Amino acid sequence: MNKTMHVRLDEIKPNTENPRSISQANLDKLVRSLKEFPEMLTVRPLVVNSDMVLIGGNMRLQALHMAGANKVMVTQVDWTQEQQREFIIKDNLGYGIWDFEVLEHEWLAEKDLFTHWGFDAGHYFLDPVQSNSNVPSTDENYSEGETPESKKIVEGNSVKEASDISICTLEFHLSKSEQEMVLSSLSEIKSKLGLTNINEALLALVSNYLEE
């Protein structure tokens, strides 16, 4: 029979067969998250087997040790070895996807908190100054010598002609699921390599492909 209880951290045995890892940057975020909102652990206990070996929550256990915690709530399960191994894989699968339209419109007030909460979502939102909603669809009706808006680039608070800047804009047409897959993968690459933005992660991915 399963039971939930508070135990000392030193009673929990790490799982040597844990197939998941975490970057130092993301581990630091998790430590901060648990310190700021420890109540989450009361509704999402770690999961251990009858021998107190951890089968769910390996990253949280690492973070708890770093945060200086002494006790944590765990759920102890009485499962077969096959069930435990199945749980370890299924517990780490991400079935859902983010709905970026809902995030942008219904969560706009919390947008600036996303990164602090550990969700690297800043690159999902358009900076209003860079919005191209008012850019004409064609370059017609411009007098000779005048630069069409579609050939201008916003950089900071100034507008420059594209020919003056050694950058380009790439446009991808993806479904929502494809968008999340690409952005999540690039975010993970960014975190693992300690990069500063998604652009660098994309370049690192391409460079790695070319080196193979």
Give the percent of the chain with pLDDT over 70: 75
Which architecture characterizes domain 3-90 according to CATH?
Alpha-Beta Complex (3.90)
Name 174's Cβ contacts closer than 8 Å, sequence gap at least 6.
Answer: 182
The model scores a pTM over 0.75? no
- CA-nearest of 23, 187, 204 to 120 is 187
The pLDDT value recorded for residue 107 is 86
Domain ranges of the chain: 3-90, 94-125+170-212, 127-136+143-168
Give the pLDDT score at 10: 96
Q: How far apart are CA 78 and CA 53, in angstroms?
A: 12
Determine what percent of the chain is predicted with pLDDT higher than 90: 38
Which residues 6+ apart lie within 8 Å of 96 measured at CB? none
Q: What is the pLDDT of residues 92-135, one digit of tens each?
A: 887 777 777 787 788 888 877 887 887 765 445 444 333 343 43
State the chain's mean pLDDT as an integer: 78
pLDDT of 169 reads 59
Of residues 147 and 110, the one with the higher pLDDT is 110
Of 208 and 160, the one with more pLDDT: 208
Sequence-distant (≥ 6) Cβ neighbours of residue 13 within 8 angstroms: 48, 51, 52, 53, 54
